[in-house]
Chains A and B, each alone.
Chain A
Amino acid sequence: MKQTFLDFEQPIAELENKIEELRFVQDDSVLDISEEISRLQKKSQELTKTLYGKLTPWQISQVARHPQRPYTLDYIKALFADFDELHGDRSFADDPAIVGGIARFNGQSVVVIGHQKGRDTKEKIYRNFGMPRPEGYRKALKLMKLAEKFSLPVITFVDTPGAYPGIGAEERGQSEAIGRNLYEMARLKVPVICTVIGEGGSGGALAIAVGDYVNMLQYSTYSVISPEGCASILWKTAERASDAAEALGITATRLKTLGLVDRVLNEPIGGAHRDHAQMMGSMKRMLQEQLRDLTAKPLEELLKTRFDRLMSYGRFKEDAA
């Protein structure tokens, strides 16, 4: 597949084009230019490394939304065996913006759930750009209850711009569906591992992201509101999104420092989209390790730790009474 370049990646794109041109010429050239090609390739890699070494929060949110980034179903396909997708909320509809089902991870039975975006226009529309309706959250809860019944750990992948702001979604109780999941996940009697793989868009992300481990990929974002949304409210123009991204503190490293995220999972140089296989490898190692750790814990301790952590969220000062 042809690589899609983001605006800030233009210098890399130019180099890559040059390499491509040289390759084309090489076929009918008497001169050996392969050395020149490998020199340029090395330069391109160096450039990618430098560029990605100092991304701004706004640039990171572009990477988090990169159209070639691995999505939930890519992780499921690569890391889970015997995946059986279980559809629908048993009450209204099946929401393709959230997928989930039962599968094996390293032979261990698990429930896996995640937001799903589409690759091409048709699939994007079908997946509603990864923006779930209440049915999606209720399907996720149905699967979590199934996990609880059969004592299966739950693994979630978070990747959504946010819950869908539509008329039908409101009519069918978007708020209640999200709130219900927060309440239930706080005490779900199985290990829950949540990983933000792209966009962690507000309540729509949180509704499947309450767990024992909350991880973020290096170039993913997690935010109370999209930078554009925040900019249009506070700066009165979406143009200031980059300022908002900075102010909101939405990057993995920042959130790790704030103590809101347990683990930042490094991505291949230049982002997960440049090397899916490598990304799958490190995701597998992390999940393996965390699953082993959580499965060893007595249930009571697991739930207490999860609950205490939830209660500890927030920063405030306390006056002496």
Chain B
Amino acid sequence: MSWLNKLLPPKIKRENRAEKSSAVPEGLWSKCPACEAVLYYTDLESNLQVCPKCNHHHAVSARDRLGMLLDAEGRREIGAEVKPVDILKFKDGKRYPDRLVAAQNATGEDDALVVMQGSILTLPAVVASFEFKFIGGSMGSVVGERFVRGVQAAVEAKAPFICVSASGGARMQEGLNSLMQMAKTSAALQLLTDHKLPFISILTDPTMGGVSASFAFLGDVVIGEPGALIGFAGPRVIEQTVRETLPEGFQRSEFLLEKGAIDMIVDRRELKAKVASLISILMKEPAVA
């Protein structure tokens, strides 16, 4: 340790370390985890975080995702006033409130779902988007409530509801309340059915556990992103249970399409146009440009 480090107050030191270990590529260059090509970051960004060499779909944040789907004008966030609480005083190695603060600092979000009302190629829509970096995109009370408020906003606006999932499942730290969010979110879709409004469910890497086993597969149209891991139980759990190695491509979008579990796989770069086309047909609107 240099003399300078010794002089620094502990707070600054910690921030330094966080920067170094950050998984977010903040430099000019980024390496594709699939084909290992070294990519110019702005190229990756302008290609919606899809590797131009191998088409690997990189993870995107909840807000970037909303930016890719919604038109720039007339966006309004829904449910931002809903904030997490520590119901159970949950503590493992870390206290739940500390975990929340760490996740909030790392993502700039205050929970794992961001919902926005706006339009997709001028068609009104409400879009919910998961932030996977927020405690694995896990679904707790705030995710459930924001989801429901999003559905209600869609009903009020007579607009379709779209959800982009990226989640490891239910949030253990909220105990049974998080399990009940599965029932809550699935039930809320009845409101869309009542008003004949489409629910488009987009499953991205990864969509697992309690999110997968609730609203995710209840879409009128269920779309998978290429190569996304989608399933109920995690591959490691299955391997331990059945004591076999899993088949190649197991639980990936392409596998699910073949098994009849999803309607289609859509490349991220075509997603906005595809969603607009789907909702315009279902809503009996004229075709969009």
Contacts and interface: CB of A to CB of B under 8 A. Distances in A.
B170 A174 contact: no
Interface in B145-181: 145, 148, 170-172, 174-181
A206 B186 CA distance: 12
Interface stretch (B45-53, B54-62, B232-240): B232-240
Contacts of A180: 217-218
A315 B87 contact: yes
Contacts of B88: 247-249
B213 A183 contact: no
B281 to A, nearest CB: 23
B159 to A, nearest CB: 20
Interface residues of B, number: 62
Given A179-B218, A248-B175, A186 B237 contact: no
Nearest to B259: A171
A102 interface: no
Contacts of A203: 170, 179, 182, 209-210, 213-214, 232
B183 A166 contact: no
B269 interface: no
B238 A173 contact: no
B288 interface: no
A222 B179 CA distance: 10
Interface residues of A, number: 54
Contacts of B84: 316-317
Contacts of A165: 232-234, 237-238, 241
A243 B92 CA distance: 8
Nearest to B110: A319
A276 to B, nearest CB: 28
B212 to A, nearest CB: 4
B149 to A, nearest CB: 10
19 contacts: A163-B233, A164-B241, A166-B238, A176-B261, A179-B182, A182-B186, A206-B180, A206-B182, A225-B172, A234-B93, A247-B91, A249-B176, A250-B176, A258-B87, A310-B183, A310-B184, A313-B180, A313-B184, A314-B180
Closest 4 CB pairs of A and B: A314-B141, A165-B233, A186-B187, A182-B186
